[in-house]
Amino acid sequence: MTDVEQLLHTLCGDILADVDPLTQYARLTDAQAVYTELVSAIRTRRGAALRAMADAGMSYDQIARATGLGGKQRVSQLIAPAG
């Protein structure tokens, strides 16, 4: 089982066990909306962490190297939504 499948079963096991496909579909749709917002919140927090590194004096190049992001453009893309 992959990490994603394991997490899916941990977070949505009760939904996946529902025997009524219509109910399962509706509940999975609701869960997907919540998890979409969670991904957005995680992305914003990642950007905030990068912003904190920049505010502490690290250049975008240094941040990219330290985090493995590849380049300062990617750092800039992640920081932008964080404000």
Label residue 80 by pLDDT band (50, 70, 90): confident
Relative orientation angle of helices 3-16 and 21-55, to the nearest 10 degrees: 140
CB 63 within 8 A of CB 53: yes
CB 41 within 8 A of CB 74: no
How high is the pLDDT of residue 82? 67
Task: Write out pLDDT tens, residues 10-55.
Answer: 999 999 999 999 999 999 999 999 999 999 999 999 999 999 999 9
How high is the pLDDT of residue 19? 95
Upper half-sphere CA count for residue 9 (Cβ side, 13 Å): 5
pLDDT tops 70 at residue 56? yes
